[in-house]
C-alpha cells in the first residue's frame, strides 16, 4: 500500500502531487487544518472526502486507471477553496 499525507491549509494542498503505479492500493490521510476542505477527484475515480477543520480522515482506493487527474476542494464556504489544486498521477 502506498501512503500519502495531504494537508489542506490556507487554500492549498501539501502534498499537491501524488504519484503512484497502476493498480497500487493508495491510502490518503487527509487533514483539513484551518477550515473544512475536501479531497475531490472526478471520474473515473469519483472520490470526494470532506474533513472538518482540525480533523484527519483516512481513505483508500485502487489506482486502476492510468493518467493525470486533478484533485481539488469542492466546498463552497469560501471562494478561495477554488484555488486548491493538486494532481494524482497514475503511471
Ligand atoms: Cu476548501
pLDDT tens, N- to C-terminus, the chain (91 residues): 999 999 999 999 999 999 999 999 999 999 999 999 999 999 999 999 999 999 999 999 999 999 999 999 999 999 999 999 999 999 9
48 Cα to the center of ligand 1, angstroms: 12
What confidence score (pLDDT) does residue 72 get? Answer: 98
66 Cα to the center of ligand 1, angstroms: 26
CA–CA dist 19, 34 (Å, integer): 26
The protein residues having their C-beta less than 5 angstroms from ligand 1 (an ion) are: 37, 73, 75, 81
pTM over 0.85, yes/no = yes
The residue assigned the cell 491510502 is 27
DSSP state of 54: T
75 Cα to the center of ligand 1, angstroms: 5
Amino acid at each position: 500500500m502506498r501512503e500519502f499525507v495531504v494537508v489542506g491549509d490556507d487554500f492549498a494542498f501539501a502534498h499537491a502531487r501524488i504519484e503512484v503505479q497502476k493498480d497500487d492500493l493508495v491510502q490518503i490521510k487527509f487533514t483539513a487544518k484551518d477550515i473544512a476542505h475536501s479531497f475531490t477527484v472526478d471520474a473515473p475515480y469519483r472520490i470526494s472526502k470532506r474533513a472538518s477543520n482540525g480533523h484527519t480522515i483516512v481513505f483508500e482506493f485502487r489506482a486502476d486507471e492510468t493518467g493525470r487527474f486533478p484533485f481539488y476542494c469542492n466546498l463552497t464556504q469560501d471562494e478561495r477553496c477554488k484555488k486548491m489544486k493538486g494532481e494524482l498521477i497514475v503511471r
